[in-house]
Structure 1
Amino acid sequence: MDLPVAVSVLLIVAGLWNLVIWPQFLRRVIKDPRARDEAGKATTFLTVHIVLVTVSMVLGIAVGVVGIAALV
C-alpha cells in the first residue's frame, strides 16, 4: 500500500484512539441505570450501545491495520 507516512501514522493513531476510548464508554453505559430493567434484563439502551461500541472497535482495528500495512 502506498500512503504517505503521515497518513499512515494518522490511521494508526485513529485506530488506537477507538480501542482506548470505546471500552471506557461501554463501562459507563453498563453502570447506567437505563442499561437494565427492574428484572435485571438488558434493555434496548444497553443493546444499542453494545452494537455501537462493537462496530466502532472493529472499524478502529481495521483502520489501524490499514495504517500499519501502509507503513510496512
Structure 2
Amino acid sequence: MRLSADRDRCAGAGMCALTAPEVFDQDDEEGLVVLLHPVPLPGQWAAARMAVGLCPAGAIALDSPDSTAP
C-alpha cells in the first residue's frame, strides 16, 4: 500500500489526521495535510484506507488498493 496526498486539493478538514494520526498530520500554518508515512505499516492500513474515504476534498489517494501489497 502506498499513499499520496495532494496539498493543492486539501481543504484542511483534518479528517485524515483524526482518523489515522500515525500516517497523517496537518501543518501549523495552513492546516493542510502532511503525509507522515507514504507506505504505512500493515497495522495502519485500515485507518489509512478509512482516511482516504473520509477526505472531503479527495486529496488523498491510495496508489495500491491491493491489501497484500506493501
Q: TM-score, normalised by structure 2?
A: 0.32
Larger radius of gyration: 1
Q: TM-score, normalised by structure 1?
A: 0.31
Q: Which has the higher strand share?
A: 2
Q: Which has the higher helix share?
A: 1
